[in-house]
A and B are shown apart, each in its own frame.
Chain A
Amino acid sequence: MISLLKNFTKCWWRQKARASLPFLLLFFLPACEYQDLKPIRDQVLVYCSEGNPETFNPQLSTSGVTFDASSRTLYNRLVEFKPNSNEIAPSLAESWSISPDGKEYTFHLRENVSFHQTEHFRPTRYLNADDVIFSFSKQSDNSHPFHNTSQLSYRYYESMGLQNLIESIEKSGQHTVIFKLSRPESPFLATLTMDFTSILSAEYADSLLIQNKRENIDSLPVGTGPYQLTRYQPDAFIRYKAHANYWNGEQQLKNLVFAITPDPSLRFARVIAGECDLMTNPLPIHLMTTKKYPQIKVTTQPGLNTAFLSLNTQKPPFDNPQVRKAIELAINKPSIIKVVYQNNASLANSIIPPTSWAHVNSLSASQFDPQKSRQLLEGAGYASGFELDLWIMSAQRAYNPNAIKMAELIQQNLKAVGISVNIHSFEYATFLNKIRNGEHQAALAGWIGDNGDPDNFFTPLISCSATKSGTNSTFWCDNEIDQHIQQAKLEKRQATRYKIYEKLQQKLRQESPLVPIAHATRFVVLSHKVQNFKMLSTGGVSFEGVYLEQGSNDD
């Protein structure tokens, strides 16, 4: 009662303001706290995200920012990983069976799975086998009416080599789909958990075809996922609302907003001020100050990622393995880990991070040895050094908190062996595009594993097929290595696969088309209000099942 009275006297003019012109009382405003606003803020979870998604169609992207905003919120796949494990669980497919020869996968789809109902589209049927076939043939079939809806291409589908692997996809009945493969492939189920295999609506596509607005399928998405898109303003925000008929039950959290905030310090300030509830990839300097703020907490996880210096082997002087080796020897990795990561990372000797079962402990550690590096350069005919254009992206990524600083350290290191480095910075999407086209000489890149399988590092990063799709930014293609990669995929037994991967990594160590630098530890800073949030083992964020603790509304 007393608190009620206090409230009343404190804000009586506010009541008046509601009735009369609000302008008159502007100057008194800061004195009155947001007493009746609390409920509305508690209905919205705001995630400070790092950048604009390239598209809302996960098939067209390889970037985690895009996946966070599309596949993980708007869509589902046939199967998924159980949270924080390498075990595969049902999603849109209720159950599945694999033929004894490992070449035929039969999926039984869940019934009564509804698609989003949006301003532009009203679904009339539940998910069926046609949607699955549509989602895959859009990517594989060049003559499919929805194949060329965007300037972006199906990088993942290509780099995973699915066009050669999948022979046909057939339906048998409304809710059964059969994938026929050209060869047995052990990581295939893991591949189907990946973002680019998200299931789109064939019915929506048909309606767009009639309206002749095919490109809307990428910008105004309709999926089966826990949330649906309501509004997107580039460089500002993405708004979602809970999907009312979600097959796994409507989300307790009704509104979700991605506040696009590329600057990590601003993201951190927003979380502290309560404008955002959650952020990923804080700078190391932020982590040192989190203890001062009781309203936030930090969760960590060793990351399934690798930061590396990619050397374009198509362009001299990096067509010469001696020069590439010399670069690796000249770079002082421990100092990078200390300065750039503030020790929140482990030193990388291979592209495979220690969290993966394919990681080889016995691999010869890379030594910082400028002396030897100079000798190698002399041997290769670059005694007087050369000029090197190093490309970096301005956005900060999970595997690299500060690309500029890293580039500057490398610049100093290489100066000591006579190589003068010019640093060029690009925006994230532009950077990716230019790298894929092979316009770079050397670039600071990285990779975040998106299924638990080690093949997810080897195939996209160093296989020959990935030089065409451009995820292999070194453009290095070695037939022997490629055979090893293919062989490891055919093999079912993990121990045998490990042996192959061990050999492969030793060979890579000699050739060094890229210089692995670090595996960063992942951090999420979040408000105590956020409940049930789990980091994905593969990186990125998913808001399924996340909710906000309702703050008490007392004085």
Chain B
Amino acid sequence: MIKIILNQFANLLLSLFGLSLLSFLLSLLFPTDTIYSYQQTNLFEKYWFYLNQIISLEWGTSLIHGRNVFNDFILNLPATIELIFFAFAFAAIIGIPLGVWSAQHKFSYKDKTVLFGSLMGYSLPIYWWASILVLFFSVSLGLTPVAGRIGFEYEIQPVTGFILIDSLISDTPYKIDAFYNALKHLFLPAVVLGTVPMAIFVRITRSAMIDVLSSDFIRAAKSRGLAHHKVLWHHALRNVMLPVLTAMSIQISVLLTGILITEIIFSWPGIGKWLLEAVHRRDYATIHGGILAMSSLVIITNMVIQVVSHYFNPELRFKR
């Protein structure tokens, strides 16, 4: 296991090196002096200087409002993590059981309905889907808020940056209400962002389940007289989770692109909105920092998932 972690870590360093090289070259294309004013003439020295600045978290200051880019990133990150977490939870909680259920009724009309639904979910343009949900749930029914992270009537001091935690530890008498209010605000964005991953989870779980259910060890378990639900949820699902885990690691990067659109639609103050606003303002320092941070996030989460799937999948562990 240690060997695998080390291996992955080396992989990570290599990827980050490539990323830094790429973003360095990109930074040279920006209008001069927007991020760093290089004193060096040699390209390698410039790169070395750049690398030092990046590692010491000196990502420059925004060209528009003059604040530190890295601090801005940290300020906006919790909102995005919160959203991704709930979107993933939504996708997994709905998608995986639906896939299992669908596999059990394979080729029936139930299965076909689920498959049809998942194909729809997969092909929905996020922007359109969000507008429909907002129109229905927020404007017509008034059940959920239209946009934002929490109602403006609540003044929550940021401590951790995670609004669900901050609202509970704040000292207003309304903290429980504030918490619920924040949850309501999370609902629609999480559903919108989680729809595509959910559709993918359904399909992958379903096909993996069908595969696993027809394998010998399941037949053996069944013939030993184990209860149906035990075979399904204990023996089969563990094996189904492996491809799902791989799919998750790919979905992380898909989610990060989805976040750009979702955050803009719902006025969600996370890194996606932060980055897009910067693009619109031609705020090169922020664009540079934002891209660097988001790509690093994708690489790091991918690595973590790799390690986790190595841990769960003996096949991967003993292959070499």
**Which residues of A approach B to under 8 Å, CB–CB?**
17-18, 22, 26, 29-30, 34, 36-37, 40-41, 43-44, 46, 52, 151, 230-231, 233-237, 239, 255, 257, 259, 261, 263, 266, 269-270, 272-275, 394, 426-427, 429-430
Query: Does the CB pair A269–B139 fall under 8 Å?
Result: yes
Query: Does the CB pair A41–B66 fall under 8 Å?
Result: no
Picked from A26, A40, A230, the residue with its CB within 8 Å of the CB of B183 is A26
Query: Does the CB pair A17–B146 fall under 8 Å?
Result: no
Binds A, one of B103-111, B172-180, B222-230, B239-247: B172-180
In the complex, what residues of A have CB within 8 A of residue B176's CB?
Answer: 17-18, 22
Q: CB-nearest residue of chain B relative to A394? A: B280
Contact sample, A vs B, 23 pairs, CB 8 Å cutoff: A22-B168, A22-B176, A30-B143, A36-B177, A37-B153, A46-B152, A233-B269, A235-B269, A237-B152, A257-B152, A261-B267, A263-B267, A266-B146, A266-B147, A266-B267, A269-B139, A269-B146, A269-B147, A273-B138, A273-B139, A273-B145, A275-B145, A275-B147
Picked from A43, A257, A426, the residue with its CB within 8 Å of the CB of B280 is A426
Picked from A22, A37, A41, A394, the residue with its CB within 8 Å of the CB of B179 is A22
State whether the Cβ of B90 lies closer than 8 Å to any Cβ in chain A. Answer: no
Interface flags for B128-148 (1: CB within 8 Å of A; 0: not) read 000000100011001101111
The 8 closest A-B pairs by CB, nearest first: A427-B280, A257-B152, A427-B281, A236-B269, A44-B153, A46-B152, A269-B146, A41-B153
Query: Does the CB pair B153–A43 fall under 8 Å?
Result: yes
Query: Does the CB pair B177–A34 fall under 8 Å?
Result: yes
In the complex, what residues of B have CB within 8 A of residue A234's CB?
Answer: 65
Tally of B interface residues using CB under 8 Å: 37
Most buried by A among B180, B181, B265, B282: B180
B interface majority secondary structure: loop
State whether the Cβ of B151 lies closer than 8 Å to any Cβ in chain A. Answer: yes
Distance between B273 CB and nearest chain A CB, rounded to angstroms:
6
In the complex, what residues of A have CB within 8 A of residue B267's CB?
Answer: 236, 259, 261, 263, 266
CA separation between A269 and B131, bound complex, in Å? 11
Picked from B148, B183, B274, B281, the residue with its CB within 8 Å of the CB of A29 is B183
State whether the Cβ of B45 lies closer than 8 Å to any Cβ in chain A. Answer: no
Query: Does the CB pair B280–A275 fall under 8 Å?
Result: no
Known: A17-B176, A34-B177, A269-B138. A275 touches B65 (CB 8 A): no
Interface flags for B249-280 (1: CB within 8 Å of A; 0: not) read 00000000000000001010100011001001
State whether the Cβ of B165 lies closer than 8 Å to any Cβ in chain A. Answer: no
Known: A266-B267, A270-B146. A429 touches B139 (CB 8 A): no
Query: Does the CB pair A22–B180 fall under 8 Å?
Result: yes
State whether the Cβ of B154 lies closer than 8 Å to any Cβ in chain A. Answer: yes
Within 8 A of A (CB), among B273-304: 273-274, 277, 280-283
Distance between A218 CB and nearest chain B CB, rounded to angstroms:
10
In the complex, what residues of B have CB within 8 A of residue A22's CB?
Answer: 168, 176, 179-180
Query: Does the CB pair B64–A430 fall under 8 Å?
Result: yes
CA separation between A36 and B177, bound complex, in Å? 9
State whether the Cβ of B155 lies closer than 8 Å to any Cβ in chain A. Answer: yes
Interface flags for B148-160 (1: CB within 8 Å of A; 0: not) read 1101111100000
Distance between B148 CB and nearest chain A CB, rounded to angstroms:
7
Known: A234-B65, A235-B273, A427-B280. A40 touches B139 (CB 8 A): no
In the complex, what residues of B have CB within 8 A of residue A427's CB?
Answer: 277, 280-282
Q: CB-nearest residue of chain B relative to A26? A: B183
Query: Does the CB pair A273–B177 fall under 8 Å?
Result: no
Distance between B229 CB and nearest chain A CB, rounded to angstroms:
23
Distance between A83 CB and nearest chain B CB, rounded to angstroms:
27
In the complex, what residues of B have CB within 8 A of residue A34's CB?
Answer: 177
Query: Does the CB pair A430–B282 fall under 8 Å?
Result: yes
Known: A29-B183, A234-B65, A275-B148. A269 touches B154 (CB 8 A): no
In the complex, what residues of B have CB within 8 A of residue A40's CB?
Answer: 153-154, 174, 177
Picked from A17, A151, A259, A426, the residue with its CB within 8 Å of the CB of B66 is A151
CA separation between A381 and B168, bound complex, in Å? 71
In the complex, what residues of A have CB within 8 A of residue B184's CB?
Answer: 29-30
In the complex, what residues of B have CB within 8 A of residue A30's CB?
Answer: 143, 184
Query: Does the CB pair B180–A430 fall under 8 Å?
Result: no
CA separation between A376 and B145, bound complex, in Å? 56
In the complex, what residues of A have CB within 8 A of residue B147's CB?
Answer: 261, 266, 269-270, 275
Most buried by A among B139, B168, B281: B281
In the complex, what residues of A have CB within 8 A of residue B142's CB?
Answer: 273-274
Q: CB-nearest residue of chain B relative to A38? A: B153
Distance between A63 CB and nearest chain B CB, rounded to angstroms:
13
In the complex, what residues of B have CB within 8 A of residue A269's CB?
Answer: 134, 138-139, 146-147
Interface flags for B63-83 (1: CB within 8 Å of A; 0: not) read 011100000000000000000
Q: CB-nearest residue of chain B relative to A430? A: B281
Distance between A25 CB and nearest chain B CB, rounded to angstroms:
10
In the complex, what residues of A have CB within 8 A of residue B146's CB?
Answer: 266, 269-270, 273, 275
CA separation between A354 and B265, bound complex, in Å? 38
Distance between B15 CB and nearest chain A CB, rounded to angstroms:
31
Query: Does the CB pair B152–A235 fall under 8 Å?
Result: no
11 more contacts with CB within 8 A, not counting A40-B153, A41-B151, A427-B281, are A17-B176, A18-B176, A22-B180, A30-B184, A34-B177, A230-B155, A235-B273, A236-B267, A266-B146, A273-B139, A427-B280
In the complex, what residues of B have CB within 8 A of residue A257's CB?
Answer: 152
CA separation between A255 and B145, bound complex, in Å? 20
Known: A269-B139, A275-B151. A429 touches B64 (CB 8 A): yes
Query: Does the CB pair B277–A235 fall under 8 Å?
Result: yes
Q: CB-nearest residue of chain A relative to B172? A: A40
CA separation between A544 and B165, bound complex, in Å? 35
In the complex, what residues of B have CB within 8 A of residue A18's CB?
Answer: 176
In the complex, what residues of B have CB within 8 A of residue A231's CB?
Answer: 155
CA separation between A233 and B76, bound complex, in Å? 10
In the complex, what residues of A have CB within 8 A of residue B280's CB?
Answer: 394, 426-427, 430
In the complex, what residues of A have CB within 8 A of residue B283's CB?
Answer: 430
Distance between A140 CB and nearest chain B CB, rounded to angstroms:
24
Interface flags for B90-119 (1: CB within 8 Å of A; 0: not) read 000000000000000000000000000000
Q: CB-nearest residue of chain A relative to B75? A: A233
Most buried by B among A26, A235, A426: A235
Distance between A518 CB and nearest chain B CB, rounded to angstroms:
25
CA separation between A224 and B124, bound complex, in Å? 52
Q: CB-nearest residue of chain B relative to A277? A: B152
Q: CB-nearest residue of chain B relative to A239? A: B155
In the complex, what residues of A have CB within 8 A of residue B153's CB?
Answer: 37, 40-41, 43-44, 46, 255
Query: Does the CB pair A29–B151 fall under 8 Å?
Result: no
In the complex, what residues of A have CB within 8 A of residue B65's CB?
Answer: 52, 234
Q: CB-nearest residue of chain B relative to A434? A: B282
CA separation between A259 and B155, bound complex, in Å? 13
Distance between B17 CB and nearest chain A CB, rounded to angstroms:
33
CA separation between A430 and B286, bound complex, in Å? 14
CA separation between A330 and B167, bound complex, in Å? 58
Q: CB-nearest residue of chain A relative to B66? A: A151
In the complex, what residues of A have CB within 8 A of residue B154's CB?
Answer: 40
Q: CB-nearest residue of chain A relative to B274? A: A235
Query: Does the CB pair B177–A37 fall under 8 Å?
Result: yes
Q: CB-nearest residue of chain A relative to B187? A: A30
Q: CB-nearest residue of chain A relative to B278? A: A427
CA separation between A285 and B206, bound complex, in Å? 45
Distance between B176 CB and nearest chain A CB, rounded to angstroms:
6
CA separation between A26 and B86, bound complex, in Å? 14
Most buried by B among A43, A44, A394: A44
CA separation between A427 and B277, bound complex, in Å? 8
In the complex, what residues of B have CB within 8 A of residue A36's CB?
Answer: 177
Distance between A7 CB and nearest chain B CB, rounded to angstroms:
16
Distance between B171 CB and nearest chain A CB, rounded to angstroms:
15
Picked from B152, B183, B269, B282, the residue with its CB within 8 Å of the CB of A275 is B152
Distance between A332 CB and nearest chain B CB, rounded to angstroms:
29
CA separation between A40 and B150, bound complex, in Å? 13
